[in-house]
Structure formats: C-alpha cells, structure tokens
Structure 1
Amino acid sequence: MRYIRPLMQVGPARPAGAVTCGGCWFSHVEVLSRTEDPHVLSVSALTAEELAPFDRDWGAPRIMGILNTTPDSFSDGGQHNARADAVAHGQRLIAQGADSLDIGGESTRPGAHVVEVKEEIARTAPVIRVLRAAGVTAPISIDTRKAAVAKAALDAGATVVNDVSGFTHDTELAPLCAARGVPVCVMHAQGDPQTMQDNPTYDDVLLDVYDFLAERMELLQAAGIAKANIIADPGIGFGKTLDHNLALLNRISLFHSLGVPILLGASRKRFIGTIGNAPEASARAPGSVAVALAALAQGVQIIRAHDVADHAQAIALWRASVAHR
C-alpha cells in the first residue's frame, strides 16, 4: 500500500493542474510506504482514486474553543468547573472568535482517572443547556468516551460528539451518534489516559495513526455514520512522545487522504512547553499558535484551542498575508 501526502502550498503563484485542499493547494505529493523510501510525484501521476479525497472545500479554518468543566485538567483544571464560570467562559470564547465549543467533564491528561457517568453528566449537560438558553447558537461538541454522557449532552443541546478513544471505549457510542445523525470526531490515542504515556511505541507513528483512523472511520460508517459527518484527529500528545508528536506534525497533511476534515488538538501540550521553555501550561499560547499556523500551512481545517483570542488574531493575519496579491 502507498500513502499519499500532498505537499501543500499557499499564495497566488499556482500552476495549472494544482489541486485545492484545506485552503491550500498542491501540485506534487510525497508517496510514503512501509517498504520503500519516500519519493515525490506530480499529481498527474496519481490515479483518480488517489486524488478523490482531496478536491473539496471545507471553507475557512475553524477554531474550536476548549471549555473544561473539570477540577483536574492539565492546563486549566478548576478554573471553569463551577457552572456559572463555565457558562461565562463559553460565552467569552465565542466572543473572542471561537466557531464552536468543545465541552468536557472528564480530564484526559496523562494519569487521569475515569470519572463516573453521573458526575460527568452533572459537569457538562447543565452548562450546555444554559449556554443554549443564553443564546449561543454555535456548534457545541461533547468531549466524552461514554454513550450516556453523550446522550445527556445531545439532549441538552450539543451537536457534535468528540471521542478521544476513537470510539473504542464504549460500544454504544457510535450507534447513538448514528441514530442522532450528528457529526463525530474520531481521535487516535494509544492506551487510556491512565497509561498512555507509559513508554508509547510504534512501528511507524505516522502510518500507524493513519491506519488506525482509516479503520475506525470504516467501522463508524458501517455503524451508520455518514463519512460527511466524520472529523479525524491524529491525537497529538495522546500516547506519544515528543518525537512522535513532531513526526505527526511534520507530515500532518497525510491525513487529508482520509477525505475528511482534520482537527489539530495541540494547544498547551507538554511538548510545546518542553521545546518553548514554558513549564507552566498557561504560558504556552505563543507556542500553541506557532504549531497551529504550521498546521494551517498543511491544510488543517480545525484548530482546537484554549487561547482563542490569540489564535483568532494569528489566523486572521495568516490568512490575509497568504491570500494577498
């Protein structure tokens, strides 16, 4: 099997025959394989089947604002676990430029423990309900691995389900999403939060993560979830070392071959602090923005972010500068 990674470009100097993808374009691809060295080909050398996933427009990059209603999340635990604080912060994220909100009631930081279903529902569903009552119309995703939590959130007004386990934790979650007809985000993680950073290993992290997501997407579609309702997330920081994270970011445009939008969730992650000399997670906004802009240059469509105002400003300037003629 060969894997096709578009070599993304931006700007007006676009050759004839270039293919549009994720707000960028490409005229050449890198062909990857488990048995051969990488090599570069013109798009003219690809088959129609190989080109099919790319030629589509998902519009401008989107920002997904992070709203953790937990006491122990890695970067903002306890700041928004009071309901009034969570609602106010959600409204603030929308005002700052978030296109959607991602609300989670169970920390998935390394070493975190499972939260009981009733507690997770109590942390999330009321916040969603109040946000809707307050007039928030933007998409709201529920960040959960559990069908019961997702059901309560959807009943309260959530419109997307974001599962960090890639729909492997609860067999009832995919059928629920199919029955409700809601978009889903399928993410790769090696292990669960309690164990995922215990010496994660891969044969080839890029291709292993790609194969996992491709397999999960097939299973989700078999469960009745339309491909048009799937978003893929390579799971930066979930069962990955610093080198694994960088390998994924370096070639993240490979995931366009899945034919669905790519979500990047790198905001404030530990590797940003390590490389950027920022031990405190709250001080990692500049590094988070830098990683986001690099991902946008590879066509990533959705950026999940804590520091929404910083990302919104940076993305607006990035788009203006690359589109300027």
Structure 2
Amino acid sequence: MEIFGVVNASPDSLAKFSVVSTEDEAREYGSLLLTQGADHLDVGAQASHGDAAFVAPEQEWQVVEPVLNGLLSLGVDVAIDTWQVETARNALDAGASVLNASDALQSDEMIELAAEREVQVVLPFMLGPDPRHLKHVQGDPVQVMLDWFDLQLERARHWGIRERIVLDPGTGFSPPHWDWSERFEYQKAIYSGLDRLRSFELPVYVPIAWKQTPDRLELVDLVLEQQVEYVRAHIPKQIRERHAALLEGSPLPTSDTWEGYE
C-alpha cells in the first residue's frame, strides 16, 4: 500500500495542521510527511466543505504554485487536487505527475487535459459537477457507485485513458452539512463493498479520515483491511502503524486516538 501524504494550500481547510503557504513551509512539511511514511504527496488549494470560500482559477493557482514548487523539490510524485482545469494544466506543466481530478473528469476540458498528458488520474465517484455541489446517493450506495464507474470508465476508454485511471470511492467529499452519523453509515457501506471495485481491474485509492474519533478509526481499519493500492492520508505514521498491526493480526484499538489533530 502506498500513501499520498496530504498538504493543503487552502486556509479554509479544516485540517489546519496540514496548511502551508510558502515554498519553504511546503518543503519542510512535505519532508515531514515523507519521513512519517508517505510515498507521494497530494496538494490542493480549494477546500470542498460547505463553508469554504470559492476560489477562482487564477487565485487558486497563485496560492498553490509556491506550495507545489516546494513539494516538487523533494523529488517524489506530487498529485494536484483540483476541479478547475486551468489549475490542473498549470500544475502539470510545473511538474505534478498525478491528476487528482476532483471534478471526476466530467468536463470535456478536464478529460481532454488528462488525455493529453501521460499521467496517472485519480477518478472519484461523484454525484454532482464538483465537490461543492453534491447530491445524496439514493439506494444501495455500492451499486450506485459501480453503475457510475461503468459509465465514466467507458467515457475514459473513449478518450484513451482508462488504463491510467485509479478509482476513488469519493468518500473524501460529501453533500454540505451532512449529519456525521448518516455519513458514517454511508462510508461504512462503501468501504465494506470496496472489493466489488475489483471487477474494473484498476487500482483503488481511498481518502482516509484524519479526525481522531473511534468511529473514524473504525473506518480507517475497514479500508486498510481491503488491501487497497493507495490511500490519501493526513497522518501517514498513524496509518502505517495501524496497517502493520492489522497485517500482524493484532489490530490497534479504535480508542487509540492521537492528540493534536482535532
């Protein structure tokens, strides 16, 4: 399992400990994530939660450019996490090697960009045009997700990029102000059905929760038990420790929360 360590360039991010704004800060924080077990890095400059401000493409690039440059100086693969094609293009031009397409490649411009570049593409399940405008899933969430991927992967095949797709169940996003108890049950259902994504014969990438509560750590362990190829994590050291314990058959208690990540 490989870990994308999360770096945020958006001041609206709820994970304040992961926010950096300069090239030097990015280099220092990215280096810390790598020493704590990350293999790659992921950076975005626009928060997706309902209370975050909308950031225009020009401003998004202005914010993320120095952070991206700092991360690229570390010599590892860096994913650009954006739903705005202008930001994605600028980041790939600058050296980002993974496109975390948080519009789910739904715009012709984004999928055309993905087709132009020989990069890996993270495709998140999404019912809505972008993470800020999502609808609730109705019915069996796993089946809805599978049906959605069927359609989107056929489109990706048409554009010649299917073999470069990595499947993301989209659980890093949610409709605005969704009650956590309902979101927990939804994510638990999705993670319990991750094995059904194997029918597409593509790698699986899952965004890991960072908030330190027993129910969230229950979800973390459920993901790690699925032996997915990639996770996106704010606290890679914790993920490495929990994963190792699961592999040894001695899972850590979900009460084993870490301080400093509230």
Same fold (TM over 0.5): yes
Q: Which has the larger radius of gyration?
A: 1
2:67 maps to amino acid:
V
Query: In the alignment, does 2:144 pair up with 1:202?
Result: no
Letter in 1 for 2:191: L
Say what the alpha-carbon RMSD is for the aligned residues: 2.3
Partner of residue 308, structure 1: 236
Instruction: Say if 2:80 is the partner of 1:145.
Output: no
Q: In the comparison of the two structures, how many residue pairs are matched? A: 242
Structure 1 unaligned segments of length 5 or more: list them. Answer: 1-60, 269-280
2:77 and 2:201 map into 1 onto residues whose CA distance is 21
TM-score between both structures, scaled by the size of structure 1: 0.68
Determine the structure 2 residue equivalent to 1:32: none
* CA deviations over 1:163-202 (Å, ceiling 9, x no partner): 222112x3211111211111100001223444437xx241
Cα 1:251–1:78 shift into 2, 3 Å: closer
Determine the structure 2 residue equivalent to 1:220: 156
Q: Displacement, 1:78? A: 7.7
1:79 deviation in Å?
3.2
Length-normalised TM-score, structure 2? 0.83
Partners in 1 of 2:142 and 2:53 — Cα distance? 28
TM superposition shift of 1:140: 0.7
The amino acid of 2:28's aligned partner reads: A
The secondary structure found in structure 2 opposite 1:98 is coil
Deviations 1:97-134 (A, max 9, x none): 1011111011112343431111111222322223333x
Q: 1:78, 1:62 → 2: CA distance? A: 19
- Quote the residue 1:184 is aligned against: 121
Q: Report the Cα offset of residue 151 of structure 1.
A: 1.3
Match of residue 92, structure 2, among 154, 159, 170: 154
Aligned partner (choices 214, 223, 232) of residue 295 of structure 1: 223
Contact kept? 1:160, 1:183, Cα under 8 Å: yes
Distance in 1 (alpha carbons) for counterparts of 2:38 and 2:215: 19
CA contact (8 A) 1:70 1:77 kept: no
Q: Is the 8 A contact 1:175 1:224 kept in 2?
A: no
* Secondary structure of residue in 2 paired with 1:172: helix
Query: Alignment partner for residue 261 of structure 1, among 203, 217, 242?
Result: 203
Going from structure 1 to structure 2, the CA distance change for 1:321 and 1:203 (only over 3 Å counts) comes to closer
User: Is the CA contact 2:137–2:144 (under 8 Å) kept in the aligned structure 1?
Assistant: no
Once the two structures are superposed, the pairs formed by residues 1-325 of structure 1 within 5 Å of their partners are 61-76=1-16, 79-133=19-73, 136-168=74-106, 170-191=107-128, 192-196=130-134, 200-225=136-161, 227-236=162-171, 237-239=173-175, 241-242=182-183, 243-268=185-210, 281=211, 283-284=212-213, 288-321=216-249
